[in-house]
Amino acid sequence: MESLTGRLLVATPALRDPNFERTVVLLVAHEEGGALGVVLNRATEVPVAEVLGPWGSLAGEPSVVFEGGPVQPEAAICLARTRPGVQSLVGFNRVSGAVGTVDLSGDPDPLRDGLVGVRVFAGYAGWAPGQLENEIEIGSWFVFDALPGDAFTSRPDDLWPMVLRRQGGLMAAVAHFPSDPAAN
């Protein structure tokens, strides 16, 4: 399978695992050794500034830490988006297009002029070699292209239906699938 780095995994209605039900995951890495991504639509109430001080001023709305996934919830991954025309920044590792990761152990000030904003994730989603490909094959995930703003939307709770609706056709209809079909 070709690398899915930079693409979105959108949980299908069949995926009932509470860690991933109705989630949108941005894959930050996908290679032979496995895959790593962050859940984009699970905001916490913890302000970034409360945990990471000066990084809080770069965080987009909502400027809170997000639950990136069930693996290593004590670890932080930071996604950032570069301003148009910025080709490279020290400490910025491009994932796809204008979106990449930055090292939170550094000083945010040198990055300030080159970034539109950042989003901080506690933990991540990880897959062993072949695991993600199997989950896609059995129908747990839809795979879609990401838009640069997906990881930084101001309305993360709306991301799952929004991504499905923009696909059109049958996928747009899936956006209206009830969370509990038995209660329909």
Tell me how far the alpha carbon of residue 4 is from its chain's centroid: 13
Q: Cα angle at 9 between 125 and 130, to 5 degrees?
A: 65
Alpha-carbon dihedral of residues 31, 43, 21, 100, nearest 10 degrees?
-20
CA distance 66 to 106: 20
The residue extents of the domains of the chain are: 7-183
Is 7-183 in CATH node 3.30.230.10?
no
CB count in 10 Å sphere of residue 136? 16
Side-chain half-sphere of 90: how many Cα atoms within 13 Å? 6
- pLDDT score, position 178: 76
Model's pTM, two decimal places?
Answer: 0.94
- pLDDT score, position 88: 85
CA distance 63 to 11: 24
- pLDDT score, position 181: 61
Q: By the 8 A CB rule, do 63 and 55 touch?
A: no
Low-confidence ranges of the chain (pLDDT < 70): 180-184
- pLDDT score, position 84: 92
Pairing status of strand 99-102 against strand 115-127: unpaired
Q: By the 8 A CB rule, do 30 and 132 touch?
A: yes
